[in-house]
Amino acid sequence: MTADSVSVVINKDNIATLTLDRTKALNAFDRAQVEDFNGVLDGLKVQTGLRALVVRGAGKVFCAGADVRYLRDMGAGSWEQNLADSKDYAGMSKRMRLLPVPVISCVQGGAYGGGIGVVAASDIVISEQNAKFAVTEGRFGFTASIMMPYLLPRIGIRQARRWCLSSEMMSASEASRIGLVDQVVQEGALDDALAMIINDVLRNGPVGIQQTKSAMNYLSFPPFNDETISASVEAFAKGRACTSAQEGAASFLEKRKPAWVE
């Protein structure tokens, strides 16, 4: 099954692999890609016998976040449309969390901005050792928000403050040190590492797995609930509409420095 920017295949062991495939945009999310992603996840939710979902990005980079034009356009439009679209965007990570099988992301090259969101919402993350990670939103004047309900339980408030407010680039080993990534492997070794994890997962009872994931969601802090997600959705929508975001998008597209940089 293929939507335009997201493809999915399911193998004989009932392992689904979703591939972000918009390499000309470094797999950045635009409106269509969000819809495609959500569509695939909705299909997988009712896929009988599914045992795991693997998420990958085609090309050099796992996912460079969200398309700047898309963010700008949503921010510049009506508040209602902005908010509705923000909910859809947040729907991706929510679906990953609610899928009753382990979600395993395999990262090469880099995960930036919204790409960190996909990583954070995954159950297990394997990364090549030369991959880089950065919460880049602030550089463009946007507020890192949708990832927050998932980033906080992963790396904790102390690391969230450091990496979100500075938008510094971190190495795979630093990402592993702070818990953003679960396992780091040599370049080219993602498939072998993935195979081992899949084998482990297949040995575990599917219902036991589903219940475990459900228990983790129940015990989450911040709570994994509508209130938390709504707060992140609203911050995201506001963040896209504000002056900084519009200036950030404009300066990026016009290939100049934003107003807040000397």
Region 10-69 residues binding another protein, contact defined as CB under 8 A? 12-13
Q: Rounded to 10 degrees, what is the CA torsion of 246, 250, 251, 254?
A: 180
What element of type H or E holds 54? Answer: strand 52-57
Single out the residue of 48, 80, 203, 254 in contact with another protein (rule: CB under 8 A): 203
What is the footprint of another protein within residues 170-189 (CB under 8 A)? Answer: 179, 182
Cα→Cα distances 65→57, 76, 146, 147, 226, Å: 12, 19, 11, 11, 23
Segment contacting another protein by CB under 8 A, of 22-30, 76-84, 88-96, 204-212: 204-212
Angle CA(170)–CA(172)–CA(176) in degrees, nearest 5?
Answer: 100
**Beta strand pairing status for 132-134 and 170-171?**
antiparallel
Single out the residue of 19, 145, 172, 237 in contact with another protein (rule: CB under 8 A): 145
What is the footprint of another protein within residues 107-136 (CB under 8 A)? Answer: 123-124
Nearer to another protein, 4 or 168 (CB): 168
* 3-class secondary-structure state, position 6: strand
Instruction: Give the span between the Cα atoms of 162 and 115, in whole angstroms.
Output: 18
Single out the residue of 58, 152, 185, 250 in contact with another protein (rule: CB under 8 A): 152
| 143 part of the interface to another protein, by CB under 8 A | yes
Single out the residue of 7, 47, 167, 171 in contact with another protein (rule: CB under 8 A): 167
What is the footprint of another protein within residues 214-243 (CB under 8 A)? Answer: 214-216, 218-222, 228, 231-232, 235, 238-239, 242-243
| 206 part of the interface to another protein, by CB under 8 A | yes
Cβ-contact 172, 181 below 8 angstroms: yes
Single out the residue of 17, 153, 185, 250 in contact with another protein (rule: CB under 8 A): 153
